[in-house]
Structure 1
């Protein structure tokens, strides 16, 4: 029976990224952060599951979004810290290439990513920086 892979792949990313540290600071990973959770943190969300007609009944293309949130006070800073977190995420994703992992029901066969530009939101006390990385995978469902 064919299954939707998005929930399992999202959980795979939460588990994969849960040990990231930058500047001796553990970066927490959430599916959804609370308003009271201060940056920095990583969100893993979404997931698009597309089955191509030529790929066979148990193959899919999955997109998972990883969003990094940081904040800083003052007139400068934060961008270097953001870049360090993004680099750790990408390094963690590719450290065992060409094996990208597997879940109970799925094997991640390929991986590509797109790390977009940072979005800056300024408040009266802080500048928040948000950057999204989209990981695209070709996935096989285990039989």
Structure 2
């Protein structure tokens, strides 16, 4: 508690208390660990002291100790091989299908029946499933589909 002009004042919060005199303002408890970090105690004006006391009145900070929660990371995010993503599709039953080779050029010498057969989607062989799934990790595939 501080007394100025015969009046007693109680500190408003844990900030250091100030004494007001006729000519200057001086800091009473400057060596406390929670004291203000000021370059010079002579540069404090009366307005600054009023602002410090008002801010202390308006929002006193309650000391609540909450445990720190650490969230573990899931790991590395897999990347999709974009060239493979353009070449493979998944059917409704979960099979991986692909296009047949041989229908890009030199079509004049291929008969219509052959071109029609090459146009259809063809299922990927079981021996290549691991390679395709490795390139497309987020592909929703039924591994037991035949």
Q: TM-score, normalised by structure 1?
A: 0.23
Bigger strand fraction: 1
Bigger helix fraction: 2
Computing the radius of gyration from Cα coordinates, the structure with the larger value is 2
Q: TM-score, normalised by structure 2?
A: 0.23
